[in-house]
Structure 1
């Protein structure tokens, strides 16, 4: 067998199973969902009643779907800047360590490996439990404050504190590692030249050297944070749902589509149309954000 054919054979031996799994469990369901969105698919994944764009018109005219997009916008407004600032701050602190840097990097990264479901249940049952035995209410009790029903009432919306803090705990370590990689790629000679020019270490060096050098990393982090905000499901569902179901408030897009497609109505066509709309919104937001940040633009441009 020619050497080129042998290399191609071994390539497909190693890559083939993963490519087949990706196609079978990702691309085929995606295409099937797009196909379903053009049909009246109540309680079936093989419909025959073609309805064209009716499902899209229905989902776009649904106040609950538009409300879910508002929920996403609020969640993004909280979680993106908070995660960005906290992960960058941790990366700067860990990067300055001269001893035990690997230990602290591992400690902060460890929550990333935790299940969102498990973390949400710990936050719900132990930290922000609505009775006086939860950790948060216990601390409030030390100062004479009454227990707070963190997840039970929309006014005031204390549930945002619970949702945002659990997501912060889960994902900050991952983005900290990305910032650490960016910090370690900054040439030391830049700081040496700045010191010779009289730049003071601290805020001045960070503002004029460190932060501009992290531009590419910052763009990637913000893009990932926005996309992950669109995909929020586990923490919302496991924090806010109970034996009575999910409350009518604080429903992000995926929670709304879950109840639309798999709830009592079982309208898979309408749910698929909503998923396609959500995917298009994510794509448009990502492209606009990347263009605004100049992602992929050459230095000469």
Structure 2
């Protein structure tokens, strides 16, 4: 079928002026602001603990990394139907019941937005182990002589971490932050599978990929606007990645 009208950049302008698309970008920002630093801190802390473990280190490394092998779809359904089901028999409400706390409707779209806790904890469980392995590899590359020199000078604890461990992990930290930000942009499975039961999404609960999915593959089958939105999202990811790399000096050889 031959198009009768060339729209040029019209689809891109429509997407940029679409309040729903802009709202999805705000959802990403809210999600990224929490998930990126939280994952970074937990992953780094887990790597430090595993690195200091002298007994069964391989076991603990495997335990932390194992959730990475789980499908995002499967994990989302487990979180939705078993742990945070919103009924008294659900694991989360069962634990709260032991302390005399009433059941919480975790997946209700009304305020307060408890569904954010469900989505964030699912993502943390799935990805912390992967970034822990990256940090652990970086920690193992640090020369032991640096810590020996610090011990001779009487430095310990926070001072050693701040002046030796953290600076030596600069390249690893930069890569981890970049990957975390890109993965936050690509959030789809947990939002779609946990909240899809309701058919509609409340404000700030639909990230860009979920919005583009419904735009291109929903009832309207609007491939033009869906493709334009995907290109815009790709450009945003590329720009953010380049700017973050420049700010954090990604690629510098010195640490």
TM normalised by structure 1 equals 0.82
In structure 1, how many angstroms separate the alpha carbons of the residues matched to 2:243 and 2:186?
18
Match of 1:265 in 2: 220
Instruction: Give the 3 Å change call, closer, same or farther, for CA 191–112 of structure 1 in structure 2.
Output: same
Change in Cα spacing, 1:102 to 1:281, as seen in structure 2 (3 Å) is same
Task: Say if 1:237 and 1:246, in contact at 8 Å, map to a contact too.
Answer: no
After TM superposition, give the deviation of residue 49 of structure 1 in Å: 3.9
Other-structure match for 2:27: 71
State the match for 1:246 in structure 2. Answer: 200
**Of 167, 184, 193, which residue of structure 2 is paired with 1:212?**
167
Preserved CA contact (<8 Å) 2:109 2:202? no
Match of 2:239 among 268, 284, 296: 284
| 2:95 aligned residue | 139
Pick from 128, 147, 164 the counterpart of residue 84 of structure 2.
Answer: 128
Deviations along 1:35-69, one digit per CA (max 9) or x if unpaired, are: xxxxxxxxx9x856421000001000000000000
Q: 2:154 aligns with which of 188, 191, 198?
A: 198
Secondary structure of the residue that 1:241 maps to in structure 2? Answer: helix
Where in structure 2 are the equivalents of 1:177-188 lying within 5 Å? 177-188=133-144
- Alignment RMSD, CA only? 1.5
Map of 2:189 onto structure 1: 234
Spell out the pairing of 1:38-77 with structure 2 (5 A cutoff): 49-77=5-33
Question: In the alignment, what sits opposite 1:13?
Answer: none
- Equivalent residue for 2:107, pick from 128, 142, 151: 151
Instruction: Report Cα offsets for 1:190-246 as digits up to 9, x if no partner.
Output: 01111112212x21111110011100000000000000000000010000011x423
Deviates more, 1:187-196 or 1:250-259: 187-196
1:157 deviates by: 1.0
Return the offset for 1:146: 1.6
- The answer for unaligned runs of 5 or more in structure 2 is none
Q: TM-score, normalised by structure 2?
A: 0.96
The C-alpha deviation readout for 1:172-193, integer Å capped at 9, x for no partner, is 0000000000000000010111
Q: Which has the larger radius of gyration?
A: 1
Contact 2:86 2:93 in 1 (8 A): yes
SS at match of 2:180: helix
Is the contact between residue 59 and residue 273 of structure 1 (CA under 8 Å) also seen in structure 2? Answer: yes
